[in-house]
Structure 1
Amino acid sequence: MPTFLVNVSKIQQNLDAIFARAQERKIDFVSVVKSFHDSSELMHLFDRRRPSYLGMSKLPLAEKFRDQVQSPIMMTSIPRPADAARTVRIAEVSLNSNLETIAALDRAAADAGTHHGIVLMIDVGDLREGILPADAAAFVRALAGRGFAHVSIRGIGTNYACANGVEPSAANLETIYSLAGELAAILGARPYVSLGGSSILDWLDHHHLRDWPTQIRIGQSILLGTLPVVDTAAPGLCTDTLVFRSTILEQALKPSAPAEPGGADALGAVNRPCDRGFRRRAILDFGVSDTDPKALVPSDPGIEIITANSDYTIVDVTDSNQPYDVGDTIDFIPKYRAMLQGFISPYLEKKYQ
């Protein structure tokens, strides 16, 4: 069975390092926990740090852990109107960009006898969720005109490098901070600015975030120690946090190209491999039902991933200096998508070290 080796102490080092940097700059910190799915070990690790919020994107997981954690929960994916009652029961705050969804949350909060916080999402260029900056003032006035008594805007937020790889810049940060100042006059209070995505970490160290109540929502850099888009190590963080370990099921010399042209493979991809003669190939005990093989980096630089299907991944070990055989293991370093799919897969064993 393929295995995730999870180095809890290294993940804790990353968590503590980012938390300390945020505290030093008087910035609220949201630990985004969606990447490790239902790992109770990591959930409790994140919770013990007592972030401003645990950022969760799936209601079933939030419901599972609500009574197991002490930190308040922020729903980091926009709720469906039909899920308003579940959302206000589980989370103190949710991200929103639709007036009728907010109306549903207000009704649900009234029925539950509670109050729910809103982070109004603004799209500053990544073209994911959020209203355009030019429409924000009119949106807030319309919201105020509805007279909602059980929801209120706590902050305005945006996401970076989630849909189109747009990273923080002086221009788009100035847009959202200036908008926060404009909305403060309408709201009668200063909303915090909630910045989502690990790419914001660079601005903690090398740039300047305006002196305003600010919140950062971070996930990837805690778990992998890397920055999105550029996919490089984040300064001061550990990148040896996760190892994907597989086992060789078959190993043999085989042609590097099929004898006859083929069509699509089991996953619908059309492969046109170059003929490199006979190569030593190994079949590994995982496929796309376990993780995303395309988002794995072999620890052995002499190994090349050739293709994968639902249960197998085929690698070329010809150029490796290791004498691999059936039963031997091969390790990989997961990128974000491999980590995400791996934690979700019920077929992947997780070992915490």
Structure 2
Amino acid sequence: MYPLLEINLSKLKQNIDALQKKCSEWMLEPVAVTKGFCADYKITDLLFDAGIRSFADSNLSNLLKLIDRFGNKAQYQLIRLPMKEEIEAIIENQIIPMVSQLEILNLFSEKAKQLHAQPSVILAIETGDGREGFLPEEVLENIKQIASLDHIAIIGIGTSLACLSGVLPQISTLEQLCSLRNQLKPIFHNPHLFVSVGGTTFFSLWEDYNHTPKVDQIRCGEAFLFGSDMSRKRNLSWLQQGAFHIEAEIVEIKSKKPDSSNRGFDAFGRVCEISCEKNYPRKRALVAIGLQDIDDTQLFFKDRNVTIVGATSNYLVLDCEESRHDFRIGDLVRFQAGYGTVLRAFLSPYIQKRYIE
């Protein structure tokens, strides 16, 4: 049945093994981020069997799914800031949250006291991306209040970059985090307070520099899934690409000329642009897959003479006027899939999964 997402488990295993080796050389603990594939057991089993014992996800439901699978044989981090209603479940399941608000730290401490527990917490630190995290000076200004929360254990500090604003990490980023860690260790009475960084964009600092400040963890998903670093539009030479492909069926082929008069916006409220450089009518193929299943900017077709015109909720539209291939109704088209497409495909109930060993 189509459309389908093909997952090459052999390539993923090669990437996981290579990642383990590199992290060992760089004295980093890899934390596998599973949100991009909804913590699918076929992939998480590969990670676990390879020796990965730390998992991270932005969805509590995925972490609970992993706990059902691996129990206390692994550690689990919630890397999306917790909602108030999740606090009790996080404590009861010994999940390690990243927290950036004093109010939430207080709620964790209060609930932990009620449950006779002492949950571990990572302080999220803002280092330039403009997303989640305490400002470093904010932590120091409120340090007495944080340290007074007896019912939680601050075990580390963590940051993320190149997620929202495309800010790239620098050596100074690590130096700032390590300096903050050293200031916090005696205050929290924790000589093992760790620094955790995310995501794949941080690997460049170990690739490019011989003496990198001592960081303990790197949280990543893109590296072992795609062998790439989107923040720099590059492939990682020590990893494999092409572990995920989308296949879908052509359901219409016709030459079309879109009407350029009296135009508004598309079904998603986007501005529609029609190239004036192309001669119309042009041969278009409609593929039975759409934005509810994939991200049309994260599909890569081998035939460079075929371009993606756009997508609606249920159709992907291809311009195949210049292609030498004689596309026909019922033909399957195959694309290498990037992060956005894989994420949506795992979420979509309309996409079949095919695993290649």
User: What TM-score do the two structures reach when normalised by structure 2?
Assistant: 0.93
User: What do residues 282-305 of structure 1 show as CA deviations (whole Å, max 9, x unaligned)?
Assistant: 000011111111221222211101
Secondary structure at the counterpart of residue 55 of structure 1: strand
The partner residue of 1:325 within 320, 324, 328 is: 328
Q: Shift of the alpha carbon at 1:208?
A: 4.6
8 A Cα contact 2:171 2:213, kept in partner: no
Q: Matched residues in 2 for 1:315 and 1:54: separation?
A: 38
Q: Deviations for 1:235-269, whole angstroms, at most 9, x for unmatched residues? A: 211111111111100112222x3263322222222
In the alignment, the residues of structure 2 paired with residue 39 and residue 168 of structure 1 have an alpha-carbon distance, to the nearest angstrom, of 29
Matched, 1:258 2:259: yes
Amino acid corresponding to residue 37 of structure 2 in structure 1: F
- Shift of the alpha carbon at 1:206? 1.9
- Tell me the secondary structure at the aligned position of residue 324 of structure 2: coil
Note the 1:54-203 alignment, pairs <5 A: 54-69=55-70, 70-145=73-148, 147-149=149-151, 151-190=152-191, 191-203=193-205
Residue equivalent to 1:216: 218
Distance in 2, Cα, partners of 1:200 & 1:248: 40
Question: In 1, are the aligned partners of 2:174 and 2:215 still within 8 Å (CA)?
Answer: no
CA distance in 1, matches of 2:142, 2:24: 32
Cα offset, 1:331, TM superposition: 1.4
- Residue 228 of structure 1 and its aligned partner are, at CA, apart by 2.3
Equivalent position amino acid for 1:92 in 2: I
**Alignment-mate amino acid for residue 171 of structure 1:** S
Cα RMSD for the two superposed structures? 1.7
In the alignment, which residue of structure 2 is the partner of 1:37? Answer: 38
CA contact (8 A) 2:125 2:134 kept: yes
Report whether the alignment pairs 1:226 with 2:228. yes
Shift of 1:92: 3.4
Identity across aligned pairs (percent)?
Answer: 27
Unpaired runs of 5+ residues, structure 2, are none
Shift of 1:120: 0.7
Q: Within 1, Cα distance between the matches of 2:197 and 2:165?
A: 16
Q: 1:213 offset after TM fit, Å?
A: 5.1
Q: Distance in 1 between matches of 2:177 and 2:260?
A: 58
Residues of 2 paired with 1:74 and 1:296: CA distance? 30
1:112 Cα deviation after fit: 3.5
Q: Distance in 2 between matches of 1:238 and 1:344?
A: 24
1:204 aligns with 2:206: yes
The residue identity in structure 2 corresponding to 1:143 is I
Q: Residue deviations 1:104-141, cap 9 Å, x none? A: 22233334343311111111111111111122222332
CA distance in 2, matches of 1:272, 1:195: 40
Indicate if the aligned counterparts of 1:93 and 1:117 stay in contact, CA closer than 8 A: yes
Structure 2 distance, partners of 1:270, 1:210, is: 45
CA distance in 2, matches of 1:299, 1:352: 21
CA offset at residue 59 of structure 1?
Answer: 1.1
Contiguous gaps of at least 5 residues in structure 1: none
Contact map agreement 2:121 2:156 (CA 8 A) in 1: yes
Counterpart code for 1:286? I
1:56 and 1:74 in contact (8 A); partners too: yes
Distance change >3 Å, CA 259–CA 168, structure 1 → 2: closer
* Deviation, structure 1 residue 209: 5.9
Q: Report SS of the residue matched to 1:338.
A: helix
Measured in 1, the distance between the counterparts of 2:307 and 2:317 equals 9
SS at match of 2:5: strand
Please give the alpha-carbon distance, in whole angstroms, between the structure 2 residues aligned to 1:259 and 1:176. Answer: 54
Could you tell me which amino acid in structure 1 is paired with residue 249 of structure 2?
T
Q: Deviations over 1:309-349 (max 9, x none)?
A: 11011110112221111111111122221221111111111
User: C-alpha displacement at 1:280, in angstroms?
Assistant: 1.0
267-276 vs 130-139, which deviates more? 267-276
Give the letter aligned to residue 218 of structure 1. Answer: C
Report the count of equivalent residues.
350
Letter in 1 for 2:240: C
Per the alignment, residue 301 of structure 1 pairs with 304
Paired residues of 1:47 and 1:54 also in contact (CA < 8 A): no
Counterpart amino acid of residue 100 in structure 1? E
More divergent stretch after superposition (76-85 vs 265-274):
265-274
Structure 1 residues 171 and 53 mapped into 2: Cα distance closer, same or farther (>3 Å)? same
- Identify the residue that residue 273 of structure 1 maps to in structure 2: 274
- Letter aligned with residue 201 of structure 1: F
**Counterpart-to-counterpart distance in 2, 1:90 and 1:23:** 29
SS in 2 for 1:229: helix
Which moves more between the two structures, 336-345 or 135-144?
135-144
